């Protein structure tokens, strides 16, 4: 919604009727004249009694559109019948309204004082204002001599070499413009006028102004002032750099042996710290992995005790299998000396790894069922011949399945997904994933280990 009032050229703010002609121009009747407003909201003209209206004051709700596009407006002195097309042509055929610069007051550097010049032109060359006298007074007038007291004006100041996004500033019937203390730069001062009907000058009066800056605020003055300090800083830094290079060369020769000894000590300390951390993680993982087979053995013993006929044979097999896993964990503890010396070896065997992975997963079925969970093995394909270390594979997969069972609430599902795929280098690789329906591990919990 756009609001249009006196400050925008409307003859009166009390509107009593609005009609629209075929071109979209709005004819707005008020208590003081009839206004023509474009579809974009610009006041095109103002009509009064001297333009042929019966009076300037119109009645409320006394308007309609007649046949042939005629507009009817009722006033206190009768009905005004208007042919909008004929009236708009008459307004267009009238003399073109122009605005002229009548006078300008500025500082004249040749005289050393303010000087007022009088003109009669609608355009003017660029004005140059010194930094110490950045003020300007402009007077202007319209080409129309009808009801001069009702002429009004508006202006805007915009950068000369930039898009004009500023708005017009309405100054009313004042035909002078005072611009004190202009900012430095190159501007265009644009002034337009309105006659007694509110018709605007088609072309504004354009005055280019170049306002100088004080010399002590220019970039070259800043550079000139900073130059001695920059040179002094350069030579001072150069002297410090030369002295530092000499000292560094002298110290380097004396500290070389100390540096070598320090590196050796740091390497030995790093190895000891890494060994201690490894031992700590090893015992933590071993303690954690002891729980899984013990839990399976305990659960299967309970099942055999309750239903020996159904679970005896299978239960003994699971107990035997998890007992072997316990034995493997004990062997890992006994091999700690080998780990400390860095002699950990990988014992590879070649064969189809899929049945072995299914074998490991079956060891956790009973534990999963006790929590209401189901373990699914999804292998694609069913046969993958490769080299692998059975002991370490059992260690890794058992840890993953144990964690999945521990942190997945029942009822739920745990999927062991095995896929054969190609790496970015074009080599075949086996992707083993354990997916569960639990809440997962948050990114914050994984951050210390990534």
Residues 371 and 308 in one domain: no
Residues 351 and 405 in one domain: yes
Residues 331 and 358 in one domain: no
Residue 100 has pLDDT above 70, yes or no: yes
pLDDT for residue 28: 95
Residues 252 and 208 in one domain: no
Last residue of a domain, which of 173, 200, 217?
217
Residues 17 and 69 in one domain: yes
Q: Tell me the per-residue pLDDT of 199-252, one tens digit each, with 9 for 90 and over.
A: 788 888 888 888 888 888 888 888 888 999 999 999 999 999 999 998 988 888
Q: Tell me the per-residue pLDDT of 164-206, one tens digit each, with 9 for 90 and over.
A: 777 888 888 898 999 888 888 888 889 998 887 777 888 888 8
Domain assignment present for 340: no
Query: pTM for this one?
Result: 0.39
User: What does the mean pLDDT of the chain come to?
Assistant: 84
Residues 321 and 248 in one domain: yes
Structural domain for 193, as ranges: 99-217
pLDDT for residue 122: 54
> For the residues of 240-270, what is the DSSP string, one character each?
HHHHHHHHHHHHHHHHHHHHHHHHHHHHHHH
Residues 211 and 134 in one domain: yes
Distance CA 64, CA 73 (A): 7
Domain assignment present for 1: no
Domain assignment present for 341: no
> For the residues of 25-41, what is the DSSP string, one character each?
-EEEEESS-EEEE-TTS
Residues 256 and 330 in one domain: yes
pLDDT for residue 93: 46
Domain assignment present for 207: yes
Lowest-confidence segment of 14-28, 77-91, 282-296 by average pLDDT: 282-296
DSSP tally for the chain: helices H, then strands E:
8, 21
pLDDT for residue 45: 83
Residues 203 and 105 in one domain: yes
Tokens at residue 294, please? 């013990």
Question: For the residues 326-337, what does the mean pLDDT come to?
Answer: 73
Residue 121 has pLDDT above 60, yes or no: no
Total domains in the chain come to: 4
Residues 227 and 294 in one domain: yes
Domain assignment present for 400: yes
Tokens at residue 381, please? 């394909």
Distance CA 188, CA 79 (A): 47
Look up the CATH number of the domain holding residue 302.
Answer: 1.10.287.130
Residues 230 and 304 in one domain: yes
Residues 83 and 115 in one domain: no
Which H or E run contains 387?
Answer: strand 385-388
Look up the CATH number of the domain holding residue 388.
Answer: 3.30.565.10
Distance CA 427, CA 420 (A): 11
């Amino acid at each position: 919604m756009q609001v249009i009032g006196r400050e925008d050229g409307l003859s009166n703010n009390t509107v009593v009727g609005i009609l629209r002609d075929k071109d979209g121009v709005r004819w707005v009747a008020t208590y003081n004249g009839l206004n023509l407003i474009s579809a974009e909201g610009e006041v095109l003209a103002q009509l009064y009694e001297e333009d042929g209206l019966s009076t300037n004051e119109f009645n409320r709700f006394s308007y309609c559109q007649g046949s042939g596009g005629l507009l009817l407006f009722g006033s206190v002195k009768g009905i005004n019948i208007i042919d909008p097309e004929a009236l708009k042509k008459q307004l267009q055929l009238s003399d073109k309204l122009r605005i002229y610069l009548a006078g300008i007051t500025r500082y004249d550097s040749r005289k050393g004082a303010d000087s007022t010049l009088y003109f009669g032109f609608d355009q003017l060359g660029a004005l140059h204002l010194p930094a110490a006298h950045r003020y300007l007074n402009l007077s202007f007038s319209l080409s129309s001599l009808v009801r001069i007291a009702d002429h009004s004006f508006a202006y805007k100041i915009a950068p000369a070499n930039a898009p004009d996004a500023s708005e017009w500033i309405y100054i009313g019937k004042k035909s002078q413009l005072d611009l004190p203390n202009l900012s430095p730069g190159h501007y265009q001062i644009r002034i337009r006028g309105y006659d007694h009907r509110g018709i605007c000058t088609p072309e504004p009066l354009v005055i280019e102004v170049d306002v100088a800056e004080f010399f002590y605020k220019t970039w070259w003055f800043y550079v000139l002032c900073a130059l001695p300090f920059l040179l002094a800083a350069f030579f001072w830094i150069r002297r410090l750099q030369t002295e530092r290079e000499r000292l560094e060369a002298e110290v380097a020769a004396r500290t070389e042996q100390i540096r070598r000894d320090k590196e050796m000590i740091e390497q030995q300390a790093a190895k000891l710290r890494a060994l201690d951390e490894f031992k700590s993680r090893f015992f933590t993982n071993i303690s954690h992995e002891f729980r899984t087979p013990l839990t399976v053995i305990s659960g299967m013993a309970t099942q055999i005790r309750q239903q020996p006929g159904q679970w005896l044979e299978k239960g003994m097999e699971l107990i035997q299998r998890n007992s072997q896993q316990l034995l493997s964990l004990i062997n890992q503890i006994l091999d700690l000396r080998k780990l400390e010396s860095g002699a950990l070896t990988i014992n590879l065997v070649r064969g189809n790894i899929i049945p072995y992975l299914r074998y490991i997963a079956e060891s956790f079925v009973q534990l999963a069922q006790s929590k209401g969970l189901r373990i699914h093995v999804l292998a694609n394909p069913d046969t993958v011949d490769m080299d692998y270390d059975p002991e370490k594979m059992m260690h890794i997969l058992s840890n993953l399945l144990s964690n999945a069972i521990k942190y997945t609430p029942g009822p739920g599902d745990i999927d062991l997904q095995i896929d054969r795929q190609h790496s970015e280098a074009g080599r075949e690789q086996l992707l083993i994933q354990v997916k569960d329906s639990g809440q997962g591990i948050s990114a914050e919990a994984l951050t210390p280990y990534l």
